[in-house]
Amino acid sequence: MKTREKIIILLIAIILGTISYVYFLDGYYSIDTEWIYTRGIFDYATKDAYIRDGRFFSAIIFILFSFMNLSIKKIYIINLLASILISSISVVKIYKIINKYKNLEKTYLKIIAFMISYIFIFNFTQINIMLFIDSAIINASILFLINSLEKTIIEEKKKQGLLYALIAIFCYQGTIPVYIATAFLICLLKYKKINKTFFKKLITPIITIILACIINLIAIIIIPYVTKLDFTKRLTTDGIMIKFLYNLQNFYHIIFDCQNYFPKYLWLIICFLILVITLIYGLKTKKESIPINLIILFAVYILSSMIILPLVSIDDRIEIGRAFMPIGETIAGTLIYIICNTDILENKKIYKNIMIIIISFYFLLNIFNTIKLTREHKIANKIDESFAKQVEKEVKKIEGEDIKDFKYTMYYIIDENATEKNKYNTIIFRNSLLLKCMYTEAMMEFYIGNGIKPNKLMYDEKIIKENFETQTNKELQIKKIDEVYYIVVHV
């Protein structure tokens, strides 16, 4: 693969990535970003998630940011631009792997290989990653895992593979499911068949990731004692089986609607079409092992996503798209197998045309879907900011400009008779912290700023019934009662 070709692919990926995330280029504020603001960057890096969770590179980078005295907005934008660059390098890496196992002399095959490589990395689960202020570290973890698999499986350089895996895990541990699924895919590209040799070679990357995880776990245990930090678990093992079973029952939501990060049922329909076309091809050409391998590969991607089920709760109000990265990579992963291990995209005209239509459709859909969702996330930010400013204005009107803190409580009235036109879009509702009633304290402190500290209390429903209208055209009703600001939100 020539350097010129790599540069062209990298530049196109950067351009498309920038277009996809154009609405985030002037900043996006997730709940994590708002918590960092309220805690302070240095304090958050040294005493919260990063060091205690073994994400040392995040800790180092955010400690440096704290000394640079940059605003939260600038830090986010720097991370976003770095994320686009790092992800684009990952696209080149995936293209390079395809190029190794498939002769890409024909121009249309190069274009298809690029589109598949792009959607492998810039898939709909990456949108959730890009919401966070440390997105560059998460995307770096993916890049180093790809490098690790390239060294471990393709080049059979175990030590270098372990080194890259360690760097990846010390960046972000949530990418482990990606490693497992991609290791299976690359082994399938290299050894073609699922047999004893295949499983024997698969053991090496499995041992590699286990060793990396053990070293990371040891570091997580030792670091708090060495640095004299208080050790606080973020992931508890209490009720782990109950959580797993609960999440297993709700996992179908991830498959059917992809947590609203992709059009409902469409991910499943595209997967089904690819499997059906490959099955017909396998039966017609008497290559039954190809659709069987593809079905197994599909299952591996699904099962690797389920590794996270005992650790996080699948909740309609909480976005955990980044926890299910293999789901976003499934379609591209199966297409990589097809382009490398079959001639569907070359000599079989009817199969080729249908598959090219599917690939082109999915490629364009990913870009437009990302633009649409990032725009809606920005609208959600505006809803939160507008709410916080309204509260600030009302509080300052009563307390004066020198106010340092205030107590508040919130109550939501859902107007069932409101027309659909007046209701908030479903996805905006999910991503506005105000509208999904979550973490409003940090959100208010972030948007109000000036060192003003909002303190949230539980509401007294009796007071609300006595002092507020249930039917009104106002979106917000704010009253100070017994030193507490009662905020009633109409949705």
Give one DSSP letter per residue of 254-270, joined into a string.
HHHHGGGTS-TTHHHHH
CA-based angle 208:212:216, to the nearest 5? 170
Lookup: tokens for 168: 């990846």
Give the model confidence (pLDDT) of 273-332 as tens digits: 999 999 999 998 888 899 999 999 999 999 998 888 777 777 665 666 777 899 999 999
Amino acid at 468: F
Q: In this structure, which amino acid lies at residue 122?
A: F
Q: Specify the residue for token string 């190029």.
A: 99
Residue 215 CA: distances (Å) to CA of 48, 163, 212, 219: 20, 11, 5, 6
Closest C-alpha to 337, from 63, 146, 12, 113: 113
User: Which has more confidence, 79 or 323?
Assistant: 79
Tell me: the pLDDT tens digits for 345-390? 887 788 899 999 999 999 999 999 999 999 999 999 999 999 999 9
169 — pLDDT class (breaks 50, 70, 90): very high
Residue range 435-447: average pLDDT? 84
- CA torsion angle for 43, 45, 48, 53 (degrees, to 10)? -160
d(CA 357, CA 481): 62
Please, which pLDDT band fits residue 420 given cuts at 50, 70 and 90? very low
**In the Cβ-directed half-sphere of 176, how many Cα atoms lie within 13 Å?**
19
pLDDT of residue 379: 92
- Per mean pLDDT, which range of 81-90, 102-111, 114-123 is the poorest? 102-111
Are 169 and 52 a contacting pair, CB within 8 Å? no
- Under a CB-based contact definition with an 8 Å cutoff, are residues 373 and 430 in contact? no
Q: Using alpha carbons, list the distances in angstroms from residue 272 to 118, 174, 197.
A: 21, 27, 29
CB 113 within 8 A of CB 107: no
